[in-house]
Structure 1
Amino acid sequence: MLALGKINNLVVKKQVKFGFYLDGLSWGEILLPNNVAPAGLAIGDQLDVFLYLDSEDQLIATTERPKIKVGEVAMLKVVATTKVGAFVNWGLKKDLLVPFSEQQIPLKEGQSYLLYCYVDNSNRIVASSKLDRHLHKTVPQYRPGDKVDIIISEQTDIGYKAVVNHQHWGVLYQSDVFKPLRRGDKLPAYIAKVRDDDKIDLRLSASTFKQAQELTAQVLAKLEQNGGKLALTDKSAPELIYAQFGVSKKAFKQAIGSLYKEKKIVISDAGIILVKQ
């Protein structure tokens, strides 16, 4: 099934003076202009092309790859503001429209913004800076340890808000960040947890996740051995924590924090207590 604003694999149907017509099935013949056609292209060949509307709103194909596709998020620069909205450079000849109704704040020429691309009710490919309107509309189907791609949205009091796989919101906690991050940065991350409210906790390191996972099991085992009590808290001296588990205080705090969120332990001034299931 063909999709506007995405990559489609189409068959070359015929050649004309100004390009090639591709078989768009129920969409009819779709023009691939000569200037974006690969050398040696012949009738019957299959080709991956991006489908969009040209300046006259005619369906057209290109082998060029835009900076953003429908269903994706990217940082794009505003090249013009007009009476219908702002236009951003997305790597194609025709700039991409951000309607006024889809601007979180008025977009300014020369500035870059994090945008979501979609097809509106008029069948136009447009973009929006109102990410909350378009993201986290489906239940996250991730498991702890899954590798994902994230794009940094903004810094918060607890860390960074990030877009996960162009679909969901996630949080990267400050304690897991060891280098400066900026809005629009793209990097791999790992799912730490999908909470009951569908919010996603992220980590940058797979080893950090594995260490925390192993440590939570060790803490639970130690609690069971000690009658459900352990005289350590997130305020205990690093030396005492290392003597018990051979890990840093930071790793221990992450582990018991995770257990606390899962309601497997309670934390008192005297230590941690196992919750009877």
Structure 2
Amino acid sequence: MMNLNAMKPGTTLHLTVARTTEIGYILMNSNRDEVFLHQLEASEGLEENQKVNVFLYQDHQGRLAATMTMPFIDLNSVAWLEVVGVKHNLGVFLNIGIKKDLLLSKDDLETDRNLWPQEGDKLYCGMKIDKRGRLFADLATSEEIETLSEPAPDTIRNQYLEGYVYRHGELGVLIFTDEQYIAFLHEDETDRIVRLGERVKVRVTFIREDGRINVSLKAPKEIAYGEDAETILAYLSENDGFMPYHDKSSPDEIKEQFHLSKAAFKRAIGKLLKEKKVEQSPEGTRLIEKK
């Protein structure tokens, strides 16, 4: 049977001040195990035999230490934690509310570092102790996220929501929104890399029967067409009203010049032709001057 009063990192204990030192206090449990509480980690001046609640962690030298500041999580809880540092040889560091940040090991992250969280991102994590007794962050499982979730109503289609990416999958990522909905972002619905822990603003495209939602980072087609058309008009205006590109140009040329797919370029050109803002010839596309 585990000793609930055992001195181990990640636990909160009710200990007794055994004696004081010049820089802090020696705390002791009922088994007479001792741990050091630095005076900078004490919320008040303490006296011998006084009872205090402390959280145990490992200091920067790996020694067991105590603090009277209670962290956001312990070994029995999980919370959204902010990334405060990234070291590619170690992993990412998370703020848990005490002076010592908690490491999420690189072993628990994707091999592709482009998918790693950056400072300011947030991860839903708990704590764990490895075989060597070291304290690490522990990414919450999908099941733990699901216990927090709520089913989405049918009325939110095309609405914009915000949330944090909490899982990468083969076909896309999972997002937990501020409304506590679980959202799936398919890889076809984004034009960029989406990081773990990144806060994203997404548009609801579909509400599933189980209450989960499908979302997109892309604008609705009618808006996208307009934005792409404005890009082409701006290019024409900056180049004396002419460009050597048209709907027969190669996809590589279009991608290099406008950062658009061939299909998106053709849709935008079609919109401009219909609005009689441009005309095409075998040589390219010309801006129609207003009379």
The two structures have a TM-score, normalised by structure 2, of 0.47
Higher-Rg member (1/2): 2
